[in-house]
Structures are given as structure tokens and as C-alpha cells.
Amino acid sequence: MPSNGEKEGTNVPLLQDSASTNVPLLQDSASTAPSPDDSAGTLTRRFWIESKKLWHIVGPTIFSRMASYSMFVITQAFAGHLGDLELAAISIANTVVVAFNFGLLLGMASALETLCGQAFGGKKYYMLGVYMQRSWIVLFICCVLLLPLYVFASPVLKLLGQPDDVAELSGVVSLWLLPVHFSFAFQFPLQRFLQSQLKTMVIAWVSLASLLVHLLVTWLFVYKMQLGLIGTAITLSFSWWVLIFGMFGYVACGGCPRTWTGFSMEAFSDLWEFVKLSVASGVMLCLENWYYRVLILMTGNLQNAKIAVDALSICMSINGWELMIPLSFFAGTGVRVSNELGAGNGKGARFATIVSVVTSIAIGVFFFILILIFHNELALIFSSSEAILQVVSKMSILLAFTILLNSVQPVLSGVAVGSGWQSIVAYINLGCYYLIGVPLGILLGWVFHQGVMGIWAGMIFGGTAVQTLILAIITMRCDWDREAEKAATALRNIK
């Protein structure tokens, strides 16, 4: 078993120019273009070089995230055409029960973006496989601990104010989604393991295959076999495990020879330190993910709750679909920043942050305008109900602003993950979202009688906007050379 990465560290780094030991990862060996910290390079040239590195990660990641999220959207669309109650039930099951665990487990897995990204940048290749196995262990145990939420979903949803018929049907659906729940423990670490070593095309191809399988199986179960709402849940569970077997098959069959050398007992060592970073990452991300689930729950307590929940769930589905783009920048920024810090290049990490933020904002503005133009047609894929279509059209202005803010916030969170600031951001998220955003939403929604529009507006402008501003200030004030030195010290201490 190698120590301190000697087994792998003697190899030439992946995609690195062999003529120079200081060329950042992903630099084309045939290119003589300057690196981001080369003062001789023009700003435009430097921006173009960094953009190519970023899009090498972000492009396939956008596709794979879109494909994975589309499975949920397809499931919801099929359920919506079964009836309004079925749409509300699958929406609550997906956006509250599954998403509650999704946010926590996704956040815990994002610890790998810090550890694997910096280890890859510092050429400690062997540790990537060890880190992934540690993540599997920690996330699987967490999945077991979260089982009661699925088993007792119906009474919990009733306690939170959901209508009895919606809560009962959502509870039944939740039990059929248990395989999806356990798939998160293996899929999320696999994705981050591959992303951190720039193998994003593999994830994209496997995601495409899973999406095609999902379309076929959903059509078969729902329309041909007439399994109804339960059939949609079964197909979702099946398709997500196709993702896992596809990615692990690639890893285990020789796709990652330097970073995967088989199962190792070393995965059980230093678990406590790994748990602490995973929990900090999980709390940071799940506080963000749960925030808009709280919006769904509060809406369920309004008058005419079914129409409000259906309309808001459609808006959240559209937002979630577009959010796959900034979340891909979240992943790409985390990888770029952690790779550069692991390589000791603080200026490169800073420039990667600037390029990612600027690019993501430009995309956010594009979708902001698109939502405003097509606000009357947004809900047609999910429902033909005139009442729901009207409410969604009315909500489109808030949806547009949510998308615009979300084009910045996940990227700044990616900087935090790449730099290992998860604990700090967790406190920021707690204060902004739940001490400012939620109370303001309640104030506007109930005290000022603005309903779902007031709740949503308060949570956007009271929570998300403030959190984004604070993260921007922290990022601008960061001492990147110091962060690079901290990453180098941590890598030197790996045994």
C-alpha cells in the first residue's frame, strides 16, 4: 500500500504539460498560452484559457445533472396527467421527503470536492479512492438513520399542515422511493470522485443512458401496465440505480487506474475527521436545499392549498431544472478552486472564481429574460388546469428573480467547498435563511395577506439575497495565497 501517494505520485500529472511542473491542470501540452497568474497574458486571453478549463468540467456536468433531474420532472409530469391529487402527492414526496434527505446527503458528499479535488491537484492520486470509500460508509449509515422520515411520512406531513388525502398518498409514494434514497449514498460520492479527476464525460454518457432507460420504463409501467402513481415511483428508483452501476462499472473496470486500486481497509481509518467535514458540508448545503422545501410546506397551510402547492411545485420544478446549470458551476468551481489550491496556485484559484461567477451570471440573465417572455406557457408540460396555469403565470416574476439570484449563490458556495469553508457558510446559511428569510416570508404571507407570493418574495429577498451578498464579500476579501498554503500543509500531512 503506498504511503503519501508515492505509488502514484511519480507519474506525470493528468493532462499536465511535461515541459513544466507549474502548468495548471487541464492545460493543453501543445499550447504555449499563459496561465491565469501569468502577468504577461492579456485579460481576454487568460479569461479564455480559464473558461476552457471550467467548461471542460461544467459542460458535461450540466448535461448529466439535467438528465438526472429530468427523471424527477418526467415522473412528476406523468403523475400530473393522472390527476391533481397525484400531482400534489408526487410533488410533496419528491420536493419535501426525498429532497430533505437529498440535500443533506448531497452536501455530505460534497466533502469529496474539497478532499479529492485538493488531493488530485497535489498529485496524491491514491487517496481519491480511499476518500470515496469513506464517503460511502458515512453516507450509508446516514441513510439508515434517516429511514423514519420515509416510514412515517404521512403523519409527519399531516403534522406540518398538509391536507389529509395529499399526506396519505405522499406517504405511500415515499415508501416506494426508498431505493432512490439509498442510491444517494453511492451515487453522489461516485460523481464527485470522477469530477475531481476531470472525468465528467463518463458521468454525462451514463446519465444519458439512464434517462433513456427511465423514459422507456416509465412509458411501459404507467401507460402499458397501468401501474399508476406507484409505477412512476418504481421507475424512478430503477433508473437511479442504473446510474450507480454505470459509473461504478467504469471505475472498477479500469477507467481510473491511478485513483482506484480496489477496496481498502484504510477507508475505515480517520473516519471521525471525515465525518466532521462531511457533516459541515451537509449542513451547509441542506440548509440551502431545505429552504425552498419550507416554502412548499408553508404554502400547504394556505387557503386553496392544492392549487397553490401544485402551482408552486411547478415553479420549483422549473427552477430546479434551470438550477442544474448553476449547480454545475458549483461543482466546476469547487473542482477548479480545489485543484489550484492543491497545486499551490492561489492566484489561479482566485481567477477561476472570477471567471465562473461572471459566466454563471450571464447565463442567469438569459434565463431571467426567457422566463419573463414565456410566463404564460411555463406550466403546460405539467398541467392543463386553467387555474394552475394562471397562478404559475402570476408567480413567474418571482421565479425569474429566484433564477437570477441562484446564478450567483451556488457558484460562491462552490468556492467555499473548494476552499474548505463549509463550517463558516453553514452558520451564514442558518442566519440568513431561517432567522431572516423565513420570518419575513411569514410576515408578508400571513400578516400582510400576500399569500404564496408574499411568502416566496420574503424568502428570496430576505434570505437568498442577503446570503449571496455575504458570500460575495467573504470571497472578495479572501487571501488566496494563504488558502493555497493551508491546502499544501494538509496534503503534506497525509499519511
The DSSP symbol for 316 reads H
In a domain, 23, yes or no: no
Q: Say which amino acid occupies 200.
A: T
Are 61 and 195 in contact, with CB atoms under 8 Å apart?
Answer: yes
* pLDDT at position 185 over 60: yes
Q: Which residues contact 474 (CB under 8 A, 6 or more apart)?
A: 421, 424
Reported as a single tens digit per residue, the pLDDT across 190-225 is 998 998 888 989 999 999 999 999 889 888 887 778
For the chain, the average pLDDT equals: 82
Domain extent at residue 233 = 44-492
In a domain, 124, yes or no: yes
In a domain, 284, yes or no: yes
Average pLDDT of the residues in 293-299: 75
Q: Say which amino acid occupies 159.
A: L
In a domain, 8, yes or no: no
In a domain, 247, yes or no: yes
Can you give the pTM of this predicted structure?
A: 0.73
Q: Which residues contact 136 (CB under 8 A, 6 or more apart)?
A: 185, 186, 189, 267
* pLDDT at position 495 over 60: no
Q: Which residues contact 426 (CB under 8 A, 6 or more apart)?
A: 280, 283, 284, 287
* pLDDT at position 327 over 90: no
pLDDT of residue 2: 41
pLDDT of residue 20: 36
% of the chain exceeding 70 in pLDDT = 90
Number of structural domains the chain divides into:
1
Average pLDDT of the residues in 424-429: 86
Q: What is the DSSP string of 137-202?
A: HHHHHHHHHTHHHHHTHHHHHHHTT--HHHHHHHHHHHHHTHHHHHHHHHHHHHHHHHHHTT-HHH
In a domain, 39, yes or no: no
In a domain, 34, yes or no: no
Cα distances (Å, whole numbers) of residue 304 to 151, 351, 451: 28, 49, 11
Query: If residue 1 lies in a helix (H) or strand (E), which one and from where to where?
Result: none
pLDDT tier, 26 (very low <50, low <70, confident <90, very high otherwise): very low
Average pLDDT of the residues in 218-243: 84
Reported as a single tens digit per residue, the pLDDT across 267-283 is 888 788 788 878 887 78
* pLDDT at position 15 over 50: no
pLDDT of residue 34: 44
Compare 10 and 216 and report the one with higher pLDDT: 216
In a domain, 377, yes or no: yes
Q: Say which amino acid occupies 56.
A: H
